[in-house]
Structure 1
Amino acid sequence: MKKNIAIIMGGYSSEYKISLKSGNVVYQTLDKDKYNAYRIHIFKDKWVYIDDKNKEFTIDKNDFSVTVNNTKINFDCVFNAIHGSPGEDGFMQGYFKLLNIPHTSCDMYQASLTFNKRDCLSVLKPYGILTAESYYLNLGDAINEDNIIDKVGLPCFVKANKAGSSFGISKVHKKEDLQQAIDHAFKEDDEIIIESFLDGTEVSVGVITYKGKTKVLPITEIVSDNDFFDYEAKYLGKSQEITPARLTKEQEEKVNTVARKVYDILKMKGFSRSEFIFKDGEPHLLEMNTVPGLTNASILPQQAQEAGITMEKLFSNAIEEALK
């Protein structure tokens, strides 16, 4: 009997348009002989099922069901394609845990932790995971530019702590530009992280649970046409994403080991994509994404393809792992 799969997409953050693209690719790709797929749009003002004629049916939040033509539909599994809040920060994971509905992403705590860049890096540092030098600010804190530059140096990166797709991020070369970058980051989040610039090869490493085991996918090297891997570089073609990355065997082994270690330390499940920069030959972790982009042009599907895993297999495996 075919399983009913709710593909949740959209969300409450600046990333909602990207999430809708990811969700629609999942919808188009899923094996229709195995699954009944339903597109569920999650927005602050409405949770709705969108049928193929773009007609909307309201989701009953009491049990995450939908009634279509007097027939109530319950879901066997949720495929999470929401980048940002509430799909990547633990809220949806907690909600589905309470309802006892399997879902394809990691658990609530892991989602909440990894979505908070500062907390995630703090948890991993005692395990020997290398990171950039960092300085933290909360909205309302006194800002001492000299202290910040003494700690992280110039150039540096100013980032919204809980945001993805490079929203709220700036590279600062001069002290006089620091305040503007801080203001920009605070538009996305009330917590920010300021990090030292790591000058080296940037790579993205996908780690997933595949057929019951932790699997590190082929590495992608990021070469941005812009000053760094910003929104334009990620989504508007201003970068090269080279898979497999042009690394030495030693570099490849080092970053694979660290990426797997991070995944296992955090007791991850489902998809993950971690970003690293090599400094002095050692991979330094920037962040982990637990609901990475899932379009044809996205990095994780490119890596899976290089590993001989089609999009259909990638998505089906995620569902089957959740249903276990």
Structure 2
Amino acid sequence: MKKNIAIVMGGYSSEYAISIQSGNMVFESLDRERYRPYRVIIRRESWVLLDDQGKEFPINRHDFSATVEGTHLLFDCVFNAIHGTPGEDGLLQAYLDLLGIPYTSCGFYQAALTFNKRDLLSVLKPRGIHCANSYLLDKGAEIRPEEIFARVGLPCFVKANRAGSSFGVTLVKKPEALEAAIEAAFKEDEEILIETALKGTEVSVGVLRYNDEILVLPITEIVPDGDFFDYQAKYEGKSREITPARIDGNLHKKVADTARFIYETLKMKGFSRSEFILVDQTPYFLEMNTIPG
């Protein structure tokens, strides 16, 4: 019997349009012999089911159902394709847990933890994971450039603590550029993270749990046209993504083992993508995406 799958997309963040692209790709790709896929658009002002003609039907948030042309529709599973809040920070997962509806992504706690870059680093660093030096700044706090540069040096990255797709990220090369970078990051979040800009090879590695087995996918090397893997590099073709990564066998094993260790340590489920910078044969962890594009 075919299962009804709600592909949720959209969300409340700057990643709304990217999530719509991801969700539509899932919608087009799902096997119609096994599933009946439905697009569900989540916006702040409305949750709706979108049919093939573009007509919208309200989602009943009491039980996550919809009435379509007189037929009451319930879902067997939710495919989470929301980047950012509420799909990647744990809010949607907690809601679905309360309703007892299965979903594809990790649980609410893991989502909340990994979405908060500062908290994630604080969990992983004591477990031996190499990370860049960092400095946390809250909105409204005094900005002390000398203290910041003493901690992270130059160049450094200024980024929103809870955002994705490189929104609110700036590479700061000169001291006078710090203030504008902080201002840009605060447009995305009330907490920002300032990190040492590590120089090395950037790689991305997917990890997923399938049939109770943890699988580490082939490692991808990222070669951006610009200074770093920003929005244009990720979504407008301004980069090369080379799979498998051009690294030796020893380093390949280190990256794969580290990605697996992080996945297991966080008690993850579903799919994830972790980013690393390789410096002198050592993987430095950057972040984990639990709803990768």
> Fold conserved (TM > 0.5)?
yes
Q: Which amino acid aligns with 2:79?
A: F
- Three-state SS of the structure 1 residue aligned to 2:218 is coil
Q: Does 1:121 align with 2:121?
A: yes
Q: Which amino acid aligns with 2:199?
A: D
Structure 2 CA distance, aligned partners of 1:111 and 1:164? 13
* Alignment match, 2:209: 209
* Alignment match, 1:286: 286
- Three-state SS of the structure 1 residue aligned to 2:291 is coil
Q: Does 1:98 align with 2:104?
A: no
How far is the alpha carbon of 1:209 from its aligned partner?
1.1
* Alignment match, 2:34: 34
* Alignment match, 2:226: 226
* Alignment match, 1:313: none
How far is the alpha carbon of 1:99 from its aligned partner?
0.1
Q: Does 1:199 align with 2:199?
A: yes
1:121-160 maps to which residues of 2 (within 5 A)? Answer: 121-160=121-160
Give the TM-score, by structure 2 length. 0.99
Structure 1 CA distance, aligned partners of 2:28 and 2:202? 32
Structure 2 CA distance, aligned partners of 1:231 and 1:36? 33
Q: Does 1:111 align with 2:111?
A: yes
How far is the alpha carbon of 1:38 from its aligned partner?
0.5
Q: Does 1:6 align with 2:29?
A: no
How far is the alpha carbon of 1:143 from its aligned partner?
0.5
Q: Does 1:238 align with 2:241?
A: no
* Alignment match, 1:190: 190
What's the % identity of the aligned pairs? Answer: 62
How far is the alpha carbon of 1:197 from its aligned partner?
1.1
**How many corresponding residue pairs?**
293
Q: Does 1:54 align with 2:54?
A: yes
In structure 1, the gaps of 5 or more residues are 294-324
Structure 2 CA distance, aligned partners of 1:116 and 1:237? 27
Structure 1 CA distance, aligned partners of 2:243 and 2:160? 28
How far is the alpha carbon of 1:70 from its aligned partner?
1.6
Structure 1 CA distance, aligned partners of 2:267 and 2:238? 34
* Alignment match, 1:299: none
Structure 1 CA distance, aligned partners of 2:28 and 2:239? 27
How far is the alpha carbon of 1:280 from its aligned partner?
2.1
- The list of structure 1 runs, each at least 4 consecutive aligned residues, that deviate by more than 2 angstroms after superposition, is none
Q: Which amino acid aligns with 2:279?
A: K
Q: Which amino acid aligns with 2:166?
A: S
- Three-state SS of the structure 2 residue aligned to 1:118 is helix
Which structure has the higher relative contact order (CA within 8 Å, separation 6+)? 1
1:12-91 maps to which residues of 2 (within 5 A)? Answer: 12-91=12-91
Structure 1 CA distance, aligned partners of 2:258 and 2:269? 16
User: Alpha-carbon deviations, 1:272-305, whole Å to 9, x = none?
Assistant: 0000001121000000000001xxxxxxxxxxxx
How far is the alpha carbon of 1:211 from its aligned partner?
2.6
Structure 2 CA distance, aligned partners of 1:72 and 1:80? 21
Give the TM-score, by structure 1 length. 0.90
In structure 2, the gaps of 5 or more residues are none
Q: Which amino acid aligns with 1:275?
A: E
* Alignment match, 1:171: 171
How far is the alpha carbon of 1:72 from its aligned partner?
0.6
Structure 1 CA distance, aligned partners of 2:228 and 2:134? 18
Structure 2 CA distance, aligned partners of 1:181 and 1:69? 50
Structure 1 CA distance, aligned partners of 2:15 and 2:234? 12
